[in-house]
Structure 1
Amino acid sequence: MLTPRPYRLVGRERGAGRPAPRRSVDPMERRKVAYAVMMGTCLILFVLAGTVVVHFSTAAALVMALVAMVLPPLAAIVANRGWQRRD
């Protein structure tokens, strides 16, 4: 009779049980990504409000446009957060 071989996980190598080292994220890079996401959202809201949503609901299109108007100043605040002035 054959003895069963012990179960071994496929693809596990030496040291695979340890977590991967965390990559430190530059705060400036994080702010750039946040700014890009907010401005992209603003652009999408404006385009959808003016082209698609206005045909179904004018009130919803106006609300979307108003939200899109508020996003650029907030994106600028997020992008400049943490900077110290050197005057």
Structure 2
Amino acid sequence: MNAPPRAGNPARWLRSVALPATGQQARIGRQRMDMATLLWGVVFGAIGGGFFIYGKRQGALVPLVCGVGLMVFPYFVSNAWATVAVGALLMAIPYFVRL
């Protein structure tokens, strides 16, 4: 059974009731993504899907590869500023590189 609610700070009570993280759970907790990184990942993933479809239909290798890169890289970058920088770079490559 849960302990009866205490007066005061509810967050403090929740921390006292919650079980401590061990092993894999502790490692995952340290690598937590924040909301900005998650939203930027969704935005760049959608843009990457567009690049991928365009590259596939036009037979253009550079947009195809950049589209895959835009869809995959947010899984490996955990900083919001780095996500924006890498995403902007991958979006600019097809404009400057023509094969």
TM-score scaled by length of structure 2: 0.40
Report the structure number with the largest CA radius of gyration.
1
* Structure number with higher helix proportion: 2
TM-score scaled by length of structure 1: 0.45
